[in-house]
Chains A and B, each alone.
Chain A
Amino acid sequence: MGELLSLRGVSKSFVRGGRSLPVLEDVSLEVAAGEIVAVEGSRYSGKTTLLRVAAGIVSPDRGEVWFGGHELTGLSNVRRERLLGSEIRWTDREGPGTKLKVRDAIALPLRLGRGRRKTKVIAEEALARVGVADCAGQRWEDLSYYEGVLAGLARGIGGRPRLLVIDDLLDALGLRRTLDVGDLLRSLVGELGCGVLMSVSDLGTALLADRVWSLRRGALTLVSDQAAVTDAEIIDFPDPDAARRGVGSRGVGS
């Protein structure tokens, strides 16, 4: 499997209250086609920023983001927007916030990448594929929590992307549904041949991935590799205080 997405030495800071706040520091990461990669971290650890940089939504201060042979930060806003409506799809928990029907809410972002009419058909096909065809005419705000997760996945696969970026969508589902969503995600990846980069907070959700990275204080540590890992004990999360104490991380990748 060749690499689809590659982040190389990416750094990103934000300015808050006149102070520079480093969020990502020299981060490198790769996702291949057919592969699910998870980034685990606590709230405000920078997971969403990492995913936004990977999707070309936010430009890094330093480093490169390569997708399918293109360096994303060098592309114009129009080219990046088209990619986000076609080859790269972003999905998260946020609804459109304007009381749109689910079908329209999924179709709208697809307009970024393609012309006109077909987007509603694509949205309906995607909803049917994840098993919630009957939600197409409902409003996003009226969906149950689990329906919202599945509709979020439908938003991700509409338009058959090469890279699916899932921000904080699959957590807190409980074991049974986490496994169901994992099976669904794995079969979607098989059908589309796409790569997946997702942020997670739950250990159970992290286990759905082929590789799990942990994001702590702006730095990534590889904590598990290969889908064969099914025993939670094998995953050895880094101790967030270890670096400060100078004893090093216990992570597999360290």
Chain B
Amino acid sequence: MLELRDLVKRYQVGSGEPILAVDGVSMKVAAGEFVALYGPSGSGKTTLLQLIDGTLRPDSGTVLVAGADICEMSRGEADDYRLRQLGIIGQPHNLIPGARAIVSASLKLLLTHGRKQGTPVVEGLLRELGLGDRMQHRTEELSMGERQRVLIAMALAIGPKLVLADEPTGSLDSHSSREVLGLLRRLCVKQGAAMLLVTHDPLVAGFADRVHQLCDGRLEEYRPDLLLVAPGSLREEL
């Protein structure tokens, strides 16, 4: 469903050498597959997501989603791809103030379809996400975990081929994180959507089919031991 081929993106900062934000990244995510991507700040995660969602053009390489090359799309085509084919799961603080859960979750579908078509789909998703009795509650009456689930419903309501999630558990405690990740995985498999999740959260690996690690723009084998620092092990460096 998603295929990245030798993707390269450089940034020119000042008059020095260009910075290689994404350096020859190739990977595939199949329909119904859940792939986690780890990387510290500055590793190129955000740039990579922007290349996949079509808001940024690579210097070389290709991004294929369901066989279509995102890099060859016009701006309007890329906007349409983002709206109709891509489920983007953002941060819970972006929900509209005062809107009920059912309305928030319907908003993206409203842009692409009519209200009547959308409501049963969204209601079904909210029930599956455990929000059956919270649909009429306003944003401010929902916990952060519930708001994150509303965002998942909004992203999945359009039946996306590809779901991109940037730190979806960033605002959640570990109990809510587990719930959200489990539901996200189950729904993506059920819908046959490819799922790429960018994160710092070590819990995510437990839910993923595959795990990659991004370091200085390059895709590396996942080494969880490299992400952990033993207590006291860096004292010598002080």
Residue positions of A touching B, CB distance < 8 A: 52, 55-58, 77-78, 80-81, 84, 90, 94-101, 104, 108-109, 111-112, 116, 137, 139, 141-142
Report yes or no: A99 in contact with B98, Cβ–Cβ below 8 A: no
User: In residues 161-175 of chain B, which contact A (Cβ within 8 Å)?
Assistant: none
Q: How far is the CB of B66 from chain A (nearest CB, A)?
A: 19
A94 partner residues in chain B, CB cutoff 8 A: 93-94
Q: How far is the CB of A18 from chain B (nearest CB, A)?
A: 15
Partner of B82, one of A84, A99, A116: A99
Report yes or no: B96 in contact with A55, Cβ–Cβ below 8 A: no
B90 part of interface (Cβ distance < 8 Å): yes
Q: Give 1 or 0 for each of B91-129: 1 = CB within 8 Å of chain A CB.
A: 101101111100100011011001100000000000000
Report yes or no: B98 in contact with A80, Cβ–Cβ below 8 A: yes
B96 partner residues in chain A, CB cutoff 8 A: 108-109, 112
Report yes or no: A84 in contact with B98, Cβ–Cβ below 8 A: yes
Q: Which of B1-9, B135-143, B213-221 contacts A (4 or more CB under 8 A)?
A: B135-143
A78 partner residues in chain B, CB cutoff 8 A: 100, 136
The CA of A78 and the CA of B94, in the complex, are separated in Å by 20
User: In residues 46-62 of chain B, which contact A (Cβ within 8 Å)?
Assistant: 53, 55
B79 part of interface (Cβ distance < 8 Å): yes
B205 partner residues in chain A, CB cutoff 8 A: none
B211 part of interface (Cβ distance < 8 Å): no
Q: How far is the CB of A142 from chain B (nearest CB, A)?
A: 8
Q: What is the chain B residue whose CB lies nearest that of A83?
A: B98
User: Which of B98, B99, B108 gathers the greatest number of chain A CB atoms within 10 Å?
Assistant: B98
Report yes or no: A108 in contact with B110, Cβ–Cβ below 8 A: yes
B155 partner residues in chain A, CB cutoff 8 A: 98
The CA of A95 and the CA of B103, in the complex, are separated in Å by 18
Partner of A90, one of B79, B97, B111: B97
Q: What is the chain A residue whose CB lies nearest that of B54?
A: A99
A99 partner residues in chain B, CB cutoff 8 A: 53, 55, 82, 88
Report yes or no: B111 in contact with A108, Cβ–Cβ below 8 A: yes
The CA of A104 and the CA of B83, in the complex, are separated in Å by 11
The CA of A142 and the CA of B50, in the complex, are separated in Å by 12
| A98 in contact with B99 given A58-B140, A80-B138 (CB within 8 Å) | no
B98 partner residues in chain A, CB cutoff 8 A: 55-57, 80-81, 84, 90, 112
Q: What is the chain A residue whose CB lies nearest that of B110?
A: A111
